[in-house]
Amino acid sequence: MRFGKPMIIAIDGPAGSGKGTLARGLADALNYAHLDTGKLYRCVGLAVLSSGKDPEDEEAALQEAKTIDLQDIDNINIMGDVAAVAASKVARFQKVRDELLKLQKDFANSPPGGCQGAVIDGRDIGTVVCANADFKFFITASAEVRAERRHKELLARGEPSIYARVLDDMLARDESDKTRSIAPLRPASDARVIDTSELDANTVLATALGTIKAGG
């Protein structure tokens, strides 16, 4: 808690970089609330598909964004690749982002459960959602390493996976996230960049905690 306000930790990075693992680790270590904002977009994308409409239909995506509830992100179905592709499409719409931005800011400024801080991860947290966050981290790794992680994750869940296809999808998602005109994926100028290509989760967590304890 800082001057009566909750501590905010922003974590950004591409898919498979380990940002979610770090976010959950920090939230557990600090007893802070955690929000994976990518799940919000997955929920919207999947809801549009479930309604029989196209995720590239901005109006349909906006209507779903207006009715989303944070409890929806616990739906296990949103973790599939179909939801991921749909999320990337609806995330391009400014009106959708504006609608979900309200939820994210409310979470950061008033963490649930009486927590004194919030850890929020996504792709534009440090640059847009929480530009004034107390701590910012940008987590990255080579596309090959990230694809291998995703490939193993899918196999562990019993889902079919071909590494080459996962890598192609990863590269396409990276390009889409980096080149979109609205809130493109990039590290904030004041973010601590951590390349996890050759680091395990415990080392990444220790590095981030060290930065926080040192005050920046």
Question: Could you read off the pLDDT tens digit of each residue along the chain, which spans 216 residues?
Answer: 566 789 999 999 998 999 999 999 999 999 999 999 989 999 999 999 999 999 999 999 999 999 988 877 876 677 777 888 898 899 889 999 999 999 999 999 999 989 999 999 998 999 999 999 999 999 999 999 999 999 998 899 888 899 999 999 889 888 888 888 778 889 999 999 999 999 999 999 999 999 999 986
Beta strand pairing call for 7-12 and 135-140: parallel
What is the predicted pLDDT for the residue at 71?
Answer: 78
Q: How many domains does the chain have?
A: 1
The residues, any chain, with a CB within 8 Å of residue 72's CB and separated by 6 or more, are: 43, 78
What is the predicted pLDDT for the residue at 2?
Answer: 60
Cα angle at 9 between 8 and 12, to 5 degrees? 135
Residue 159 in any domain: the answer is yes
| Cβ neighbour number for residue 153 with a 10 Å cutoff | 14
**Residue 76 lies in domain:** 7-207
* pTM (two decimals): 0.89
Residue 216 in any domain: the answer is no
Residue 212 in any domain: the answer is no
What's the CATH code of the domain at 194?
A: 3.40.50.300
- Best CA proximity match to 78, nearest among 86, 67, 90: 86
Residue 215 in any domain: the answer is no
What is the predicted pLDDT for the residue at 216?
Answer: 66
Residue 214 in any domain: the answer is no
What is the predicted pLDDT for the residue at 36?
Answer: 93
Per-residue b/e over 7-30, b at no fewer than 16 CB within 10 Å? bbbbbbbbbbbbbbbbbbbbbeeb
Residue 107 in any domain: the answer is yes
Per-residue b/e over 47-68, b at no fewer than 16 CB within 10 Å? bbbeeeeebeebebbbbbbeeb
What is the predicted pLDDT for the residue at 100?
Answer: 94
CA atoms of 66 and 77, how far apart (whole Å): 20
What is the predicted pLDDT for the residue at 136?
Answer: 98
What is the predicted pLDDT for the residue at 174?
Answer: 86
- Best CA proximity match to 103, nearest among 70, 136, 62: 70
